[in-house]
A and B are shown apart, each in its own frame.
Chain A
C-alpha cells in the first residue's frame, strides 16, 4: 500500500489536538452539593487514575479512530499492483551533488531506484530518463531492470541547473505517449500535487550553502593591462560564514583573503594587480553541502582592441569615438545595417536607431526610436538633474553626476527586466540589460560627441560604458550547458574527455561540467571557462518546488493502482453516525 498524497498524513500530527476539548472539559467545574459524605470514596478512586485527571471516555477513542481514518483517506491510500512498464526519471542537476551525510543526493536516488527495480518482476521493462540538460531517455528502450540498474550506476549528476518547466504536463504526456504504468521521478525538489501514475521521491532536506556567485576579471579601463579579480560570494545559509577566498592563476595560488558572509547576503572581495594568466580560479574553503559552487573559473579577454560598429543617421557626432585609444570604429547608416553581415566587431552602437530584433553582439542604444525591442520612451526633458545612480557599478565609477547635465533627454521604461543605472526624478535615463550573455545599454540622452577633457563627466561615463562592454566582450566565463562556438581543433573538457571538432560542426553543446575547456588549434591553446549559472541550484535551503498538479487528475492512467480512500471515507461516515448515536449533541432547553 502507498499514499498518493503522503503530505496529507502530516495532518495526523494534529490528532493530539482532539485532547484539547477533553482537557478543557477535564478542568473541574465547581458545584455545590449538600453533603460529600457519600462521595468522598469516589474522589479517592478517581485521583488514583493512571491518566491523572484527564478522563478519556470510550467515545474519545471512537472520535480518534474517525479522525485517523479521515487523515488516511486524505492521504489517498492505494494498493499498487506490480507494474510491468515503468519509467524512471532521474534529476541529474547540479544540486543533486549536495551531500546528505556521506552520500550525495544522486547516490541516494540511485539507491532508491535500485529498491524500485528490485521490487519489479522479471518481465518488467524500464525506460530511464535524465532531467537535464533536457528530459530525454538514455540507454535502450524497455530495458530489463538489471540492465537499467547497471546503467544507472554509471551515471553522475551534471553541473547544470534544471529548468523550471511544467513537469506534471511533460510527465503526463510521456506516460500517455509511451503507456507507462508507473513513472518514478527522483529529485531533490519538494514535490506538490503528485498522484496517480507518477510517484515522485523527494530526496534531501534544507542545507546551508555558500556559493561563489560571480568571478569577474576587470581592467581599470579597456586599454589597461592591469587585471583585477572581483569575487562575489552569496550566502544561502542560516548562519554566518567565515571562510578563506583563494584566487589561483593557471593553477598557482596568487592571493587569498578571509571573508565573512552574513546569512542571506552577498559579500564581495577583490584582488587587484593580478599578473596575466591564461585562466583564473576562485575557491572558498566553506565546508558546506554543495562543493561545486565553491569554485568558479574565469578567462581574461585576450584582445585589447574594441571594434565598434556604429549605426547612426548622424555619423559625424560618433566620429569622435575613434579618438579614444584602442577603439576601432566603423560607422554605417541604419539602412546599411540591414544589409551588412558584419561579425568581426564586438560592440554595436545604435545612435538614434534600433534594430527590429536584439543583435547577437553587445549593443549600446542611444535615444532609440519607438519601435526598439528594449524600452519605451516617455517624457522629454531639458537639462535633467540626475537624482540616482547605481553605486558601485562599473558604469558610474568616477562620474560626477552633479555635473552631468545633458541638454536633452528622454525617460525610459523597460519592456523587459532591466537594471536602471541612472535616474532623473522623472524616470530612468540609462537602463542596462543582459540577455543570452550579451550586454545592452540604453541611454535616454546622447553622450556624443566625445569631447575628452572638455566635458569630463560625459567623457568618463563614455569610457566607463566602453569598459563595461569590453568586460562583457567574449565573457570571462560561460554558463554550463551553453554551447561553445568553435571552428576546429581538439577540445578537452574538465573531465579530460577529448573531442575532435571538425569544420562544419562548429557548436559543441556538451558543456555539462563546470571548469575549463581547452581548445587546441595547431600550436595555439584557448581556454574557455564554464560555470554553474543561477542561484537556484545553490540555494539548498529554499529549493523550488516541482508542481505535478496537472498530472493528478488525468483519468485512465491508474491501471496499476487500486484506491482505498472511498472505503475509508465510507467507514468514517459510518463511525460518525455511531459517534452521534453514542454521544448525541446536547440540546439545551
Chain B
C-alpha cells in the first residue's frame, strides 16, 4: 500500500515526468537516454567512411553526390537509465521523529523511484547506515515495482551514526553500471565528509543529485530559553549551552552557511541540489521545485 501522499493524481503527474541526466549513460536496453555508443536512434551523431559490411541504408547519398566518397550516417544509441537512490537512514533522520523526517525523505525517494519506474528504467534503493552490509534493494523496473520499493523502505528504521563517504564507498563497490545517483540526506555532517562522499560518486562517473532533507525543528529549533544539554542522536555526544534568542539566531545563520556551502559545492561539481524542509507539501516539492532545478525534463 502506497503512503498517503501518493494519491492517484500525484502518481499521474509523476508519470508525466522524466529524469534528466547531464551525462550519457550506459543502459542495457533501448531506452530514452542517450548513450555514448552509436546506435539506431533517430538522433544523428556523426559520419564515418563506408567500409564493406556496413548497412547501405545508412549511406548518405548527398555526400556521395558532392564528393564521390561513400559515408555512412551514425546515430546516437538511446538506452534505459539506471538510477541509484541513496537514502540516509542514520540516527539523525529520526529527529524529532522518524515520521517527521525519515518518512518525508523516503517519500521523496519513492516519488523519484516512481518517476524512474514509470519510464521503464531501473531503480535501486541504497540505505546509508553504519553497516558493512550496505543494505540495498535489487534493481526494480516497471511501475508495479513501486510496491517493492515501498516495502523495502518501510522496513527501515533510522538509527546509528553515519560515516557518509565510507558508507557510499561500500555501496559503490557493488555498482558496476554508470547512471544517476540521487542522495536524500540531511547532510548534517562536516563539509569535508560530504565532499569526500560526493567526490566518490563523481569518480564513478555518476550523474548526481542531492536532496537535502531537514525537519522544521532543525531549521528553527524550539528549545525553551535557558541551560540545555544537547545530545547528538548519532554520536551520543553531549554539549551544554545556554539557549537564547541570540543563540537561535546564530544557529540559523550557521545552518544557512552550512547549506550554502553544500549548495556551492554541488553547483561547482555539477550536482543538482535542492533543500526539502519536511513541513512542505511533497507533491509541490516534487512537481515544482525539482523540475525547477533541472532534475526532470
Q: Please report A residues at the B interface, Cβ cutoff 8 Å.
A: 25-43, 45-47, 49, 53, 55, 57
Shortest CB–CB separation between residue B30 and chain A, in angstroms? 44
A33, B239: Cα distance in complex, Å: 11
State which of A25, A27, A32, A36 has its C-beta within 8 Å of the C-beta of B239. Answer: A36
A–B Cβ pairs within 8 angstroms, 23 of them: A25-B227, A26-B227, A27-B227, A28-B227, A28-B229, A28-B240, A31-B229, A33-B95, A33-B230, A34-B91, A34-B215, A35-B189, A36-B237, A37-B189, A38-B251, A39-B241, A42-B241, A42-B250, A49-B242, A55-B226, A55-B242, A55-B244, A57-B225
Does any Cβ of A come within 8 Å of B145's Cβ? no
CA distance A45 to B240 in the complex (A): 10
A47 (CB) vs chain B CBs: closest residue: B240
**B205-235 Cβ-contact flags toward A at 8 Å (1 or 0):** 0000000000100100101111111111111
Known: A34-B233, A36-B232, A36-B239. 13 other contacts (CB 8 A): A26-B226, A29-B227, A30-B231, A31-B231, A33-B232, A36-B230, A39-B239, A39-B251, A43-B241, A46-B242, A49-B242, A53-B227, A57-B225
**Which A residues are CB-close (under 8 A) to B91?**
34
For residue B134, CB closer than 8 A to chain A, the reply is no
How far in angstroms is the closest Cβ of chain B from A330?
93
Which bracket fits the contact residues of B?
A: 35 or more
Residue of B nearest to A23 (CB): B227
Query: What distance in Å separates the Cβ of B193 from its nearest Cβ neighbour in chain A?
Result: 9
Q: Is A35 within 8 A of B231, CB to CB?
A: no
B235-249 CB contact bits vs A (8 Å, 1 = yes)?
Answer: 101011110100100
Determine whether B255 belongs to the interface, using a CB cutoff of 8 Å to chain A. Answer: yes
Determine whether B69 belongs to the interface, using a CB cutoff of 8 Å to chain A: no
**Cβ–Cβ < 8 Å partners of B251 in chain A:** 38-39, 42
Those 5 A-B pairs whose CB atoms lie nearest each other, nearest first: A34-B95, A35-B188, A28-B229, A43-B239, A34-B92
Answer yes or no: B254 CB below 8 A from chain A CBs.
Answer: yes
What residues on A are CB-neighbors of B92 within 8 Å? 34-35
Q: How far is the CA of A43 from the CA of B239 in the complex (A)?
A: 6
Min distance, Cβ B72 to any Cβ of chain A, angstroms: 58
Which residues of B have CB within 8 Å of A41? 254
Residue on B nearest A26 in the bound complex, by CB:
B227
A26 to B224: give the CA distance in the assembly, Å: 11
What residues of chain A lie closer than 8 Å to B235, measured between beta carbons?
36
Most B-side CB within 10 Å, residue of A32, A41, A49, A55 = A32
Q: How long is the Cα–Cα vector from A104 to B215 in the complex, in angstroms?
A: 78
CB distance from A40 to the nearest CB of B (A): 6
- Which residues of chain A are near B221, meaning CB under 8 Å? 33
Taking a contact as CB atoms under 8 Å apart, the answer to whether B190 and A37 are in contact is: yes
Which chain B residues lie closer than 8 Å to A30 at the CB level? 229, 231
Complex CA gap A38/B247 in Å reads 12
**B162 → chain A closest CB, angstroms:** 10
- B202 CB → nearest A CB, Å: 23
